[in-house]
Amino acid sequence: MPRTVRPIVALTAGLAALLLAGCTAGSGSDGSQGKGFAGALPGRAPAGATPSPTPTPPPTGPYVALGDSYTAGMQIPPQTGEPRGCARSGVDYPALVAKGLGLSADRFRDVSCTGARTGDLTAAQNTGNGTNPAQLDALTPQTTLVTLGIGGNDAGFTDVVIECAKDSLVDAVKGVVQQTRAASPCRDHYASGDGTDEVQHRVDAAGVRLGQVLQDVKRRSPQARVYVVGYPTVFPADPSGCLPLLGRTVAVGDVAFLAEKQQQLNAMLRQRAQAAGAVFVDAAGPSVGHDMCAGEGERWVEPPFPAGGLAPIHPNAKGHEAVAGLVLKALKG
């Protein structure tokens, strides 16, 4: 295969694997950090005194983790749990959060699953290697902690990244003949006449479904503190940072376009979490500089050519450890 084509093909395969599996997480940066649907109220301060916030003790479980492959820890050893098709890791961030809280095995359930969409939270998911029951069925009135990382698959990011890779490849071939290339062929492909784009419309639609899911979580587990975990930074803010990895066969403008779409997805997750009274845990901000194009010792997300055995364009063990720390900080803050 020609060297000029290989990065695009690998990017297509890598990003497709990512988003087919589940696109799919910063301490909460808003004032609701440390509280969920059932945040504690501060005690009344004496007259004339300045009230001091009363720390909310970390929950003692039961804890239920919901989400897609960015939650499940796709291909990170050891792979545990059933069904095997969920590709759930024993050291994904939910497992590390449970460990950090000192929860016993009977007070922690990780039902996250590779490939999950919001619809798979309320209905069984066929993984191709076993069926994962509806994730929300793991919730009970006794559940005191819920983390949720989902939304990328609903937004159709699989199709988007494949289209971007394809458009860049076609444009690269045309450029050989015409000696000119488009700044962002993928952005041009998705442009719409209303000033937004088709991808933004998908993100907005996913937000509506997420809002309904969060209401269902509240109904099933009214005492639970709920944390919506965002996606870590996959693409750098400066797309030129990916040139050493991807070369110039991928339009720099398209790398920027994909980074922008991820920012819009995280913004939607934050908005929906806050509207539902949940806490948003920002993983994008703390992971700046740890994107897929960072060096091997710095990255939290693997590139299209991942380290042996790991999933392309997915968080690695270091990424899950970092996200677990962010969730624990939000819980104890």
Q: What is the CATH number of the domain that holds 78?
A: 3.40.50.1110
Question: In this structure, which amino acid lies at residue 245?
Answer: L
The count of residues in the chain is 333
pLDDT at 192: 74
Which residue in the list 69, 112, 184, 221 is annotated as catalytic?
A: 69
In a domain, 43, yes or no: no
Which residue in the list 112, 290, 314, 320 is annotated as catalytic?
A: 314
pLDDT at 171: 62
Domain membership of residue 161 as a residue range: 6-38+57-332
In a domain, 52, yes or no: no
pLDDT at 169: 63
DSSP secondary structure, 47-84, as one string: TTSPP-PPPPPPP-S-EEEEESHHHHTTTPSSEESS-G
- Beta-strand relationship, 63-67 and 108-110: parallel
- Mark whether 314 is an active-site residue: yes
pLDDT at 198: 84
In a domain, 228, yes or no: yes
In a domain, 145, yes or no: yes
Q: Nearest CA to 254 among 181, 312, 183, 192?
A: 183
What's the rounded Cα separation, in Å, for the pair 134 and 157? 22
- Mark whether 52 is an active-site residue: no
Predicted TM-score (pTM) of the model is 0.81
Q: Is 315 in contact with 323 (CB distance < 8 Å)?
A: yes
φ/ψ (deg, to 5) at 139: -80, 145
Q: How many domains does the chain have?
A: 1
208 by DSSP, 3-state: which? helix
- Per-residue pLDDT 10s for the chain (333 aa) are 333 333 444 444 444 443 334 443 333 333 333 344 333 333 333 444 444 456 678 888 999 999 999 999 999 999 999 999 999 999 999 999 999 999 999 999 999 999 999 999 999 999 999 999 999 999 999 999 999 999 988 887 767 777 777 776 666 555 544 445 556 778 888 887 677 788 888 899 999 999 999 999 999 999 999 999 999 999 888 888 888 887 666 677 888 888 898 999 999 999 999 999 999 999 999 999 999 999 989 999 998 888 888 998 899 999 999 999 999 999 987
How many secondary structure helices (H) and strands (E) does the chain include?
A: 9, 9
15-29 b/e (C-beta count within 10 Å ≥ 16 → b) = bbbbbbbbbbbbbbe
Question: In this structure, which amino acid lies at residue 222?
Answer: P
Q: Nearest CA to 143 among 90, 79, 66, 76?
A: 66
DSSP code of residue 325? H
In a domain, 45, yes or no: no
Tokens of 177: 């003949």
In a domain, 50, yes or no: no
φ/ψ (deg, to 5) at 319: -65, -40
Q: Where are the alpha helices (DSSP H) in the chain?
A: 6-22, 69-72, 93-100, 157-178, 185-190, 198-220, 243-246, 252-275, 317-332
Q: How far is CA 250 from CA 68, 171, 236, in A?
A: 27, 9, 14
pLDDT at 276: 97
112 by DSSP, 3-state: which? coil
In a domain, 205, yes or no: yes
